[in-house]
Amino acid sequence: MDRITIFENILENKHLRDINPVECGEEQCGSIQSYGPRARDYYLLHYIISGRGTYKTPTQTFEVGAGQIFVIRPHEMTTYSSNRKDPWRYCWVGFESSLDLSSALSSYVLTAPECENIFLSIARYSNIGDGREWYICGKIYELLGILNTQYNHEHDQELRYVRTAQSYIEARYNESVKVSAIANRLNLDRTHFSKLFRKHTGKSPQEYIVDFRLEKAAHLLVQQGLSPGEVAYRVGYSDIYSFSKMFSRKYGLSPNQYKKAKLMKEDDSSEH
């Protein structure tokens, strides 16, 4: 199948400050059609109306289909190719922007079938009058508003998962807490859950479990005066040697040394 350009609008550069439309159009691609590798000076968004294709960024390769948008960011070398058996049809819009679009365009590929009419409106707007670029600029704002709302919803959902996991760990830290069990309770793949958890806490779930246990242990050693053996049992360690090793790794002192150092410091403070 040969390439069929259905609509392609060459836009006047109005030098708009925040969003400045550069190009837009709609195309039915051929079965062996490919673009790139190429870099651009502006954002370029493609919405897939039908068919499939492959999108390659500097770090990843994506299979993209109907209802999805693939995002080309300024100055990034990318390649995209139509599927041989099911070539894609897409709309595109390119624009310059001085705004922080990291929320709205948070991923290279976005699933947003609700944006199809916006892309079609941009691609098929044929008014050659002075208002054309302003109209397309407004549609880009509308598009970014939807994508930003979608991002915030996903971000809030991620935070709910992470906070639920933290609450679960903090309530059961002295039991045998398994990361896979937490992921299962949240109906998430373990690898995906671990990535979300690290993204929002800076730690893996296992690191969070260990740190929380050891912080509790330090409190029990000093504030309640318990022995290392008692503390190990209270915070979920069945083996005193494993507990001492982990404690020393975190605090640089054995449990007994840590306890003595803290108590001496408190005595010195009380004398003064």
Query: Which residues, including other chains, have CB under 8 Å from residue 49's CB and lie 6 or more apart?
Result: 26, 66, 88, 89, 90, 91, 116
Please determine, for residue 2, whether its predicted confidence score (pLDDT) is greater than 60: no
- The domains of the chain are located at 4-124+136-152, 207-271
Architecture of domain 207-271 in CATH? Orthogonal Bundle (1.10)
Instruction: Work out the mean pLDDT of the chain and round it to a whole number.
Output: 88
Looking at residue 1, its pLDDT comes to: 43
Over residues 156-180, the mean pLDDT reads 91
Q: Which CATH number fits domain 4-124+136-152: 3.40.50.300, 3.40.50.720, 2.60.120.10, 3.40.50.10860?
A: 2.60.120.10
Residue 143: phi and psi, rounded to 5, are -60, -50
Give the strand order in the sheet containing 43-50.
Answer: 4-10, 19-28, 89-97, 43-50, 68-72, 109-111
Q: What is the pLDDT of residues 126-139, one digit of tens each?
A: 776 778 899 999 99
Looking at residue 270, its pLDDT comes to: 55
State the Cα–Cα distance between residues 73 and 183, nearest whole angstrom. Answer: 33
State the Cα–Cα distance between residues 114 and 51, nearest whole angstrom. Answer: 17
Question: Angle of helix 205-223 relative to helix 190-201, nearest 10 degrees?
Answer: 60
Looking at residue 202, its pLDDT comes to: 85
Looking at residue 164, its pLDDT comes to: 94
Please determine, for residue 216, whether its predicted confidence score (pLDDT) is greater than 60: yes
The structure's pTM equals 0.61
Q: What is the pLDDT of residues 217-264, one digit of tens each?
A: 999 998 888 899 999 999 999 889 999 999 999 999 999 999 888 888
